[in-house]
Structure 1
C-alpha cells in the first residue's frame, strides 16, 4: 500500500538572496544545504535550508526573483508554514529572540492544537513555530550542530502547512481520497488533515475563504512538495494523479530528487518528490551549501550562469 510519509519541502519566492540567506541561517539557525539555480530558469538562485543534510521534511526552498513585487494576500494559496520546535520553553526562547532581533511576531497562542508563535520574515512570509512537545520526528532528520541557535531550542523541521481555498471539500477530497490523508479535526470552515495519523510533520490545515485569489510576490509560497520514498512510488502516484483527472507534468529529474507537479482544483500547486538521491549527490556533508552546485545537465553552462548571479556568501 502506497502512503505519503510526510512533507518533503516547501518552496517560496524571495526578492533578495542576500537578506534571505542572512535570515534563515543567522536568525532561524537553519543550515544552507544547497546553493544552486532554478533548473527551469538558471538566471536565478535556488537556495535550500534545512537540517544537517537537508533531509526530506526539513527543507525550506527559495527562488530569488529580484523583480518580484509584494504579495497581494488572498485565497486559493498556501498561506502559512509551521516549523516544529522541541518545547513550550522553546517558544518562549524564540519570542525573546525575535524581540531582540526586531523580527515581526505575535504573542504565544495556539494553532492546530499546539502551542504556537506566529512570525514573519522581512518579506512578509507567514510562519508559525509549533511546540512538538517531545513527540517523535522522522528518523531521517538529523540536527545541524553548528547552528547559531542552542540545541534545546533549534527548529526540528516542517510541521503544519496552511492552505486557504474557496472550496474546502474539493481539496479535502484530493487529500483523503487520492493520497490517503486522514481528517484529524474539523470546525466550521476549517479542517486539519494528516498523512500520518497523529503526526504534524505531514499535516495540512485547510481554511475555506471567499474572495480574490492571492497574487504572488516576494514572501509568497509557490508550492508544497510531499514525500514518496523512491521512483517506483513516484510512478505509481503519477498514474493515480492522471486517473483522477489532474494534469501531471510527468516525472522530472531534479538530480537531487525526482518529482512531478500538478494543481488541484483550487489551483494549489503540489509537487510529489522522492527522498533521494539527496543533496550529498554532488557534495560531502561538510561542504554542503558552500559552493554553487549545478546538476550535470547545467554544468557546461557554469561560466554563463555564474556571470548572471550576484555572489552570495
Structure 2
C-alpha cells in the first residue's frame, strides 16, 4: 500500500485578491508563486503562496470571488490551518509582528501538543503558528526576498483542523483507507498523522454537533493531500471508489494531476501529485510575477485578462 507523504496544498475563498496578496505576501512573508485562474471558472483568480518554488506541502491557495458573502461558522468544515515555524523565539517574533500590523491574534499557548500562536487573516480565516521542533517539509526552501528573516519564515503546512459531526466516519476514512495513524484521542478530538511523528501530514479532527458551516470569505474549500506520481494517483482513485465514495476522476491541472471526493461528513478532499510543479511554465526567479494560464486556456488570454482586476505587487 502506498503512504500519503503529507499535505499538498489547501484552498480557501477570498473576496479581495489585493487584500489577500497584501497579507500573505507582505505580512506573512510567503512567496506569491503563481497567479493563475480557477480552471473550472476562469473569470476568477487562483492565487498560490508558498516557499521559494511553491513546493508541495507549503502551498496556500485562494479563489477570488468578489461577490461572496460572510462565512457562517459551524460543523462539517475544515476550520483551521497550522503553519510551521522553527522555534518558540519565532512565536515571539510573530506576536510582535502581528501587533505591528494590527493582525488579530491570541496569546501564545498550546495547540495539538505544540507551542502555538493562533491568529486570523483579514477575512477571519483561522490559522495557527506551530513550533515545528525541527520537522518541516523536506524540500522546503527559504525565500531570500521575503521581508521575514530566514530563521522566522513559515516552513509549510502543519496540523489542519477538521470539525465534523461524525468523528468516527472521518477517522475510519483516514486510518482504514489512507493509512493514517491515530496518535492522540480525547473526548471530542483525535489527531491523525500520515507519517508517524511528522506534523506536516497531521489532521486534527474535532467533534461538533449543530448546523453545518455556510462557506463565504475566509472559509476553507478543500484540503489536498500528496501522492508522488500518476501511478499512485490512479491507485487512490480505485481505493476511494471501492470505499463507496464518488470521485471526480483524474483531472489534469497542468501543475499537478488530482482527483476530488467528499467523505461522509461532506468534507472535500483532493489527492494531488507532487509534479510537475509551478516551474513548468516559469523560471524560479520570476514565479508569481505575471498571469500564467494552462495551455488549454492560453487561447482565451485576452478575454480572461479583460475580466480580472490587476493585482498589486
Structure 1 Cα separation of the partners of residues 153 and 72 of structure 2:
31
Report matched runs for 1:110-149 at 5 Å: 110-133=110-133, 135-149=134-148
Question: Could you say which residue in structure 2 is the equivalent of 1:89?
Answer: 89
* 1:311 and 2:307 correspond: no
Quote how far apart the aligned CAs of 1:140 are: 1.7
Shift of 1:109: 0.3
Instruction: Give me the whole-angstrom Cα distance separating, in 2, the residues matched to 1:136 and 1:226.
Output: 18
Question: Which secondary structure does the structure 2 equivalent of 1:201 belong to?
Answer: helix
Determine the C-alpha separation between the residues in 2 that align with 1:119 and 1:162.
14
CA contact (8 A) 2:82 2:158 kept: yes
Conservation of the 8 A alpha-carbon contact between 2:91 and 2:108: yes
1:303 CA drift (Å):
0.3
Q: Are residues 1:198 and 2:178 paired?
A: no
Scaled by the length of structure 1, the TM-score of the pair is 0.99
Gap regions ≥5 residues in structure 1: none
- Note the 1:92-111 alignment, pairs <5 A: 92-111=92-111
Whole-angstrom distance in 1 between the partners of 2:196 and 2:187: 21
Which residue of structure 2 lines up, in the alignment, with residue 176 of structure 1?
Answer: 175
1:165 and 2:143 matched: no
**What count of residue pairs does the alignment treat as equivalent?**
312
> Contact conserved, 2:137 with 2:155, CA < 8 A, in 1?
no
Cα deviation digits, residues 218-251 of structure 1 (max 9, x gap):
0000000000000000000000000000000000
Gaps of 5+ in 2: none
RMSD: 0.5
- Cα distance in 1 for partners of 2:137, 2:220 equals 24
Q: Secondary structure at the match of 2:129?
A: strand
Distance, in Å, in 2 between the alignment partners of 1:138 and 1:59 is: 11
Whether 2:8 is the aligned partner of 1:8: answer yes
Cα distance in structure 2, aligned partners of 1:189 and 1:84: 24
TM superposition shift of 1:142: 1.2
- CA distance in structure 1 between the aligned counterparts of 2:304 and 2:54, rounded to whole angstroms: 24
- Structure 1 CA distance for aligned equivalents of residues 88 and 125 of structure 2: 23
Task: Tell me by how many angstroms 1:137 deviates.
Answer: 2.1
In structure 2, the residue matched to 1:217 is: 216
Q: Provide the C-alpha distance between the structure 1 equivalents of 2:68 and 2:105, rounded to a whole number of angstroms.
A: 24
Mapping of residues 204-283 of structure 1, within 5 Å: 204-283=203-282
- 2:24·2:30 contact (CA, 8 Å) conserved in 1? yes
1:286 alignment partner, SS class: helix
1:49, CA displacement in angstroms? 0.0
Tell me the CA shift for residue 189 of structure 1: 1.2
